[in-house]
Amino acid sequence: MTVKIFDRPDVQSFLKTLSGLDNSKGNARMKEITHRLMTDLFRAIDDLNITPDEYWTGIAWLNDIGAAGQAGLISPGLGLDHFIDERLDAIDAALGIDNPTPRTIEGPLYVAGAPESVGFARLDDGRDLDGQTLIMHGVVHDADKKPLPGAKVEVWHCDTRGFYSHFDPTGLQAPFNMRRTIIADENGRYKFQSILPSGYGVPPGSPTERLLSALGRHGQRPAHIHFFVSDPNHRKLTTQINIEGDPLINDDFAYATREGLVPAIKEHNDENSIREHGLNGPFAEIEFDIYLTPLLDGVDNQANEQRKRAAA
C-alpha cells in the first residue's frame, strides 16, 4: 500500500511547528536547517515507503554510532567530508584563490597537544619493528611562494597495524606516538623521521562497518600521513599525503585522495645516504613542499571553530 501525505497542508504546517518556525525563541539558523532536513526526511519516508521497521532500524543504528563515537567516522565514509572540501574548493575558485597544495579531509583522529620542536622531530618511539624507516621533509611557503620560517606543521599517522595512538584498541602506544608539531626552521624547512604507516580500516563489526557492508563497500583507507599547516598570517591548511604505491590509493573509503597529494617515494640503500641521515639501515624518503594561502581581509575564511573547540 502506497500513500503520499507529504504535500498535505497539515503535514507542511506540522514541519514548521516541529522546527520551531512558528515561535520566536531559539536560534533562527538552527530552525532553518532543521526545517530543511526534516522536510527532506519526511519526503524520503513518503517517496520510498520507508517502513516502521526500516525507520527504527535506522534509529537503533544512530544510537550505536553515537555510543561507539563514530559519527566522525561514518561522515567521511559517506563522502560528506570530501563534499565539504569540494565546496571549499569551489568557493576559493569563485574568489580567485589558488591552492597550490590541495586541501583534503581531517578525519576523526587528530589529537591536540603533541610535543613541539623546531625544524626536526622523530615521530615514532622505535617500538614498531615492522615499520620501514621514513624521512620526510620539505619547505613551507608563504602566499608569495617564499619560504615561511616559523610555520607550524602538525603531523599525525598510524602504525603498521593501522592504529593511531590515543585510539589504539590494544593500548600498546604511548600518548602522542606518531604525532608531533614541527616549527619550520629559519629556511622554512620541516623534517621528520618516522616509519611508513599502513592503511587504516574501520573497526571490525562496528556500526560504521555494518552500514558500509550493507552498501557493498569496504572501510579501508590507503596508507596516509595527516597535516595541519598554519601560520598567523595565512589560512590553516588541512591535508594528507598518500603513500605512493598503496593499492587503495584510488579506492579510499573516505575519498581523501587528491592529485598533488601522492608524492614520490625514494628508497635509499647506500651507506652514504644512511650515514648522512644518522640512520643505521635502508630508509624511504619523501620530499613534499607545502604552500599556504593568504588570509581574506585579515581572517581565515575557512577556520573550523567547532573542530578547534572539540580539540581544546
Between 73 and 262, name the residue whose CB sits nearer to ligand MBD.
Answer: 73
Residue 107 or 138 having the CB closest to Fe ion: 107
Residues 220-239 within binding reach of Fe ion (CB under 5 A): none
Size of the site for Fe ion (CB under 5 A): 1
- Closest residue to ligand MBD: CB criterion: 107
Q: Is 207 in the site for Fe ion (CB under 5 A)?
A: no
What is the binding site for ligand MBD (CB under 6 A)?
Answer: 73, 76, 105, 107-109, 200, 221, 254, 256
- Nearest distance from C-beta of residue 223 to ligand MBD, angstroms: 10
Query: Residue 222 CB, nearest distance to ligand MBD (Å)?
Result: 10
Listed residue (286, 263, 106) closest to 192, CA to CA: 286
The footprint of Fe ion on residues 98-137 (CB under 5 A) is 107
- Provide, rounded to whole angstroms, the least separation between the CB of residue 76 and ligand MBD: 4
What, of Fe ion, ligand MBD, none, does residue 254 touch, CB below 5 to 8 Å by kind? ligand MBD
Closest CA to 134 of 88, 181, 178, 69: 178
- By beta carbon distance, the residue nearest Fe ion is 107
CB 261 within 8 A of CB 104: yes
Between 46 and 244, CB nearer to ligand MBD: 244
**CB of 168 vs ligand MBD, minimal distance in Å:** 12
- Residues that bind Fe ion in the complex, under the rule CB under 5 A: 107
